[in-house]
């Protein structure tokens, strides 16, 4: 960002020097600073390696336009502001991006920091360039509730623009790279915030797009600014270890360079030192000291073709003993970002673990440049597959946006989707699915299809029935079992890992909550209107129209949903509707006799009607209802201790009754005090089972005395069923006391 930029006048594209047919980026009358002239000369030379003269002229015109727009603006470092967009464009030139992207890189800050408009850019440089600049530009002149919300909205806009054109994110990543390289002039707290943002968002996006070199560089820069002391200490330790391990590395390199030609394999062998952030993350995640991280060096082997990769692997396994479980074949099953290599870990001289990557030249191009390989190596067939995978992921962002509630939720889903590690599982037909590590069968169900996820009820992993929360492992064969009337369980949100699954479950629950809340709101409003002698079904449209205008409500259904969620009191809505009825047709509205009717409770009705977790009411209990904001109708027993804490909400209480003939299973809690002897838990559980009840949960107090206290959550049909269970357990000799339990902590 420029340092206190002066307000720039709106530039008429016709007045900006530098027409399309001007070939040089530097003209004699520009007189740029010496350091900037060197940058321009280097940029010119890079463009000349792959662009036509007319394309270079187009980029030159964009530079002149940007230079004029930013004239007088300086960076915090004191450099002219144009040096920043020039550095961004130079990075893109390294990926051989087209003139539109290069022009957009040079112009990417003019809409944000000057008075130049998108229309002016489109008129001067074309609609494609203007759309790219707009996609990169931050949102401005929009008020947000917080900095976090503004950032989330910016990411949402940028990622959706990226879904339309991947060049948007390439420009943004190059922009972030240069900002990270010049971050030293910022305040320490701002440096840490930007570094954290880079680690959380931009570096994972670079990795997801296969931009490996950029990914590592962003991580290193972010680590240095986020944890400067740790960076310095670790850097010093690596330098010290470098000298100590030089002999070992040289010995391994020589051995590999002799073993491969002896096996008839022509290969390029490179030793590489692991990046500091990778070492730091390994130390932190595995709780290791630096001296325990032995594999700070790795080796990369480049061979001529795919088949030779496996021959080289065999030769290396004959040279050094491989570590079991440390072999990964990313050639047969590439990563989602198109990365392909063989990974193996060997035990080298002196017991040193040696990490080795084996790939061919095409794979190496993709591994280093990722999606940018499309521009660097257009004639390679492997790029087509990479482009398809990238396009599929970008389209998934659009789908996430459509099911996310707001920008913050969308950003959360994207973060989940940027997990670098993956697990590969198979469907019964042998199709491979790549999922985030830690995924469950529910994640796979949603990866197959939304309907499969919504109707998922069970699964078989490797032909064995397993719980839906089971963590999947590489190579698992997973079969999803569905039921026609099944629906997503809110508990799934506690263990799903993929952004798609989390987004789809939330979308279903939010939609279901709206529908159920509207149905509950209709019942509550009908009840309130009957007290005023009115019938909901016979209210005139004028009464609703008047209410919506006065309250700002979007629709009648939205009003009913807000009543069901406790955001509006049914009595107040009823009175205002009654006023509208009198104003519209005081004598012509049919009414019902004034009477008091209780709301009938059919059971735990999803998300609109909730049975209190404190007292766990069951059919047969006297009950009361309370409309809680955002929760709908919460039902308690009439003697629930929690009611005393809610006296202030007197106006939100409603009369409720159990529906006659109600059926179903309800949770009930009991407390059992029993002698602390061997087998008592089994005997109590057997007594509960004999009374035809299922145990949902068991816990106990940590009591080492003569007696112990057991807490059970059971499934019962009604109060009579619970009494039968209590009698059955009370007959067990070891049971001292048994009571129904109310949790006063809720």
- Provide the 3-class DSSP secondary structure of residue 399: helix
Average pLDDT over residues 11-35: 41
Mean pLDDT, residues 452-478 taken together: 89
Euclidean distance between CA atoms 421 and 335, whole angstroms = 9
What's the pLDDT score for residue 526?
82
Q: What pLDDT is stored for residue 649 in this prediction?
A: 56
- Mean pLDDT value across residues 12-34: 40
669 confidence band (pLDDT: 50, 70, 90): very high
Instruction: Please check the confidence at residue 531 and state whether its pLDDT lies above 50.
Output: yes
Name the residues annotated as catalytic. Answer: 112-113
pLDDT at 535: 82
Computed over every residue of the chain, the mean pLDDT equals: 78
Determine the 3-state secondary structure of 199 from DSSP: helix
- What domains sit in the chain, N to C, each tagged with a CATH number? 13-227 (1.10.3210.10), 229-378 (3.30.460.10), 421-497 (3.10.20.30), 498-661 (no CATH), 666-740 (3.30.70.260)
Give residue-wise pLDDT tens across range 394-409: 666 666 555 555 555 5
Residue 222 has pLDDT above 90, yes or no: yes
What are the phi and psi torsion angles at 126 (to 5°)? 100, 160
DSSP letter assigned to residue 467: -
Count CB-CB contacts under 10 A for residue 630: 9
Sheet strands (E) in 619-701: 623-628, 632-637, 653-654, 656-658, 666-675, 694-700
Predicted confidence (pLDDT) at residue 441 exceeds the cutoff of 90: yes
Between residues 489 and 688, the one the model is more confident about: 688
Q: Is the distance from CB of 297 to CB of 273 less than 8 angstroms?
A: yes
User: Could you report the per-residue pLDDT of 581-594, keeping only the tens digit for each?
Assistant: 766 554 444 444 33
The pLDDT > 70 percentage for the chain reads 77
- pLDDT over threshold 90, residue 105: yes
The reported pLDDT for the residue numbered 224 is 92
pLDDT at residue 395, rounded to an integer: 62
pLDDT tens digits, 472-523: 987 788 999 998 888 888 788 888 888 788 888 888 877 776 777 777 788 8
Binned at pLDDT 50, 70 and 90, residue 221 comes out as very high
pLDDT in tens, 327-368: 888 888 887 667 889 999 888 877 777 889 999 988 888 777
The tens digit of pLDDT for each residue in 231-251 reads 998 888 887 776 666 677 788
Sign for the CA dihedral angle at 402, 405, 407, 411 comes to negative
Q: Which residues of 104-128 are buried (b: 16+ CB within 10 A; e: fewer)?
A: bbbbbbbbebbebeeebbbebbeeb
> What are the distances in angstroms from CA 82 to CA 110, 128, 251, 606?
10, 22, 49, 58
pLDDT score at 302: 93
pLDDT for the residue numbered 335: 77
Residue 153 — pLDDT band, cuts 50, 70, 90?
low
Name the residue among 273, 87, 109 with its Cα closest to residue 181. Answer: 87
Q: Is the pTM of this model over 0.75?
A: no
For the ranges 21-30, 254-263, 552-561, the maximum mean pLDDT occurs at 254-263
pLDDT for 596 beyond 50: no
Instruction: Identify the top-confidence range among 143-152, 540-549, 577-586, 663-672.
Output: 663-672
Where does the pLDDT of residue 721 fall: very low under 50, low under 70, confident under 90, or very high at 90 and above?
A: very high
- Which residues make beta-bridge pairs with 300? 270, 357
C-beta of residue 180 within 8 angstroms of C-beta of residue 194: yes
Q: What is the mean pLDDT of residues 614-621?
A: 89
User: How do residues 193-213 score in pLDDT, each as one tens digit?
Assistant: 899 888 888 888 888 777 888
CA dihedral 130, 131, 135, 138 (to 10 degrees): 40
Average pLDDT over residues 116-129: 90
Work out the average pLDDT over 214-224: 92
| Contact between 209 and 166 (Cβ < 8 Å) | yes
């Amino acid at each position: 960002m420029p340092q206190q930029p002066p307000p720039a006048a709106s530039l008429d594209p016709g007045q900006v020097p530098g027409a399309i047919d001007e070939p040089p980026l530097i003209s004699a009358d520009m007189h740029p600073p010496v350091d900037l002239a060197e940058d321009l000369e280097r940029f010119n030379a890079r463009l000349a390696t792959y662009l036509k003269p007319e394309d270079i002229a187009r980029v030159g015109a964009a530079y002149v336009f940007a230079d004029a727009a930013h004239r007088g603006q300086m960076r915090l470092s004191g450099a002219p502001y144009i040096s920043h967009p020039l550095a961004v464009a130079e990075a893109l030139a390294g990926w051989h991006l087209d003139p539109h992207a290069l022009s957009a890189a040079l112009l990417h800050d003019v809409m944000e920091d000057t008075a130049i408009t998108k229309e002016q850019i489109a008129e001067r440089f074309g609609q494609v360039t203007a759309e790219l600049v707009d996609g990169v530009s931050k949102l401005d002149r929009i008020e947000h509730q917080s900095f976090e919300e503004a950032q989330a909205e910016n990411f949402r806009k940028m990622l959706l623009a990226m879904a339309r054109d991947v060049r948007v994110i390439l420009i943004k990543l190059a922009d972030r790279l240069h900002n990270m390289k010049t971050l030293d002039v910022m305040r320490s707290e701002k440096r840490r915030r930007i570094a954290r943002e880079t680690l959380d968002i931009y570096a994972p996006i670079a990795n997801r797009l296969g931009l490996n070199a950029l990914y590592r560089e962003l991580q290193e820069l972010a680590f240095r600014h986020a944890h400067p002391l740790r960076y310095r200490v670790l850097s010093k330790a690596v330098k010290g270890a470098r000298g100590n391990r030089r002999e070992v590395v040289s010995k391994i390199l020589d051995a590999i360079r002799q073993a491969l030609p002896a096996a008839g394999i022509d290969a390029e062998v490179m030793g590489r030192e692991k990046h500091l952030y990778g070492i730091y993350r390994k130390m932190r995640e595995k709780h290791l000291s630096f001296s325990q991280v032995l594999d700070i060096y790795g080796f990369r082997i480049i061979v001529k073709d795919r088949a030779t990769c496996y021959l080289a692997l065999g030769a290396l396994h004959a040279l050094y003993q491989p570590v079991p479980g440390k072999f990964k074949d990313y050639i047969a099953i590439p990563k989602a970002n198109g990365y392909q290599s063989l990974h193996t870990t060997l035990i080298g001289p002196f017991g040193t673990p040696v990490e080795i990557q084996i790939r061919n030249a095409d794979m190496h191009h993709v591994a280093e440049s990722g999606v940018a390989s499309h521009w660097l190596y257009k004639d390679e067939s492997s790029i087509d597959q990479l482009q398809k995978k990238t396009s599929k992921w970008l389209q998934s962002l659009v789908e996430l946006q459509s099911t996310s509630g707001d920008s913050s939720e969308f950003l959360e889903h994207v973060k989940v989707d940027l997990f670098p590690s993956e697990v590969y599982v198979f469907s019964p037909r042998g199709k491979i699915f790549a999922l985030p590590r830690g995924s469950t069968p529910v994640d796979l169900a949603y990866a197959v299809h939304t309907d499969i996820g919504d109707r998922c009820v069970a699964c078989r992993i490797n032909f064995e029935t397993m719980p839906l929360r089971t963590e999947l492992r590489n190579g698992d064969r997973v079969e999803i079992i569905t039921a026609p009337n099944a629906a997503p369980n809110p508990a799934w949100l506690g263990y799903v890992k993929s952004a798609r699954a989390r987004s789809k479950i939330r979308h279903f629950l939010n939609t279901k909550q709206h529908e159920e809340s509207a149905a509950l709101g209709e019942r509550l409003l009908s009840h309130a209107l009957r007290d005023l002698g009115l019938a909901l079904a016979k209210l005139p449209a004028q009464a609703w129209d008047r209410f919506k205008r006065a309250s700002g409500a979007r629709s009648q259904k939205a009003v009913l949903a807000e009543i069901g969620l406790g955001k509006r009191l049914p009595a107040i809505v009823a009175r205002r509707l009654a006023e509208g009825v009198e104003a519209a047709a005081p004598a012509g509205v049919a009414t019902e006799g004034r009477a008091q009717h209780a709301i009938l409770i059919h059971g735990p009705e999803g998300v609109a009607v909730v049975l209190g977790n404190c007292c766990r009411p069951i059919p047969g209990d006297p009950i009361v209802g309370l409309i809680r904001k955002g929760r709908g109708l919460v039902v308690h027993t009439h003697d629930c201790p929690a009611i005393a804490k809610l006296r202030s909400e007197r106006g939100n209480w409603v009369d409720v009754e159990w529906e006659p003939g109600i059926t179903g299973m309800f949770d009930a809690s009991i407390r059992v005090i029993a002698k602390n002897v061997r087998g008592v838990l089994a005997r109590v559980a057997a007594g509960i089972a004999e009374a035809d009840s299922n145990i949902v949960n068991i816990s106990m107090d940590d009591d080492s005395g003569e007696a112990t206290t057991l807490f059970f959550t059971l499934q019962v049909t009604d109060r009579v069923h619970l009494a039968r269970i209590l009698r059955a357990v009370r007959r067990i000799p070891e049971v001292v006391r048994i009571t129904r339990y109310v949790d006063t902590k809720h």
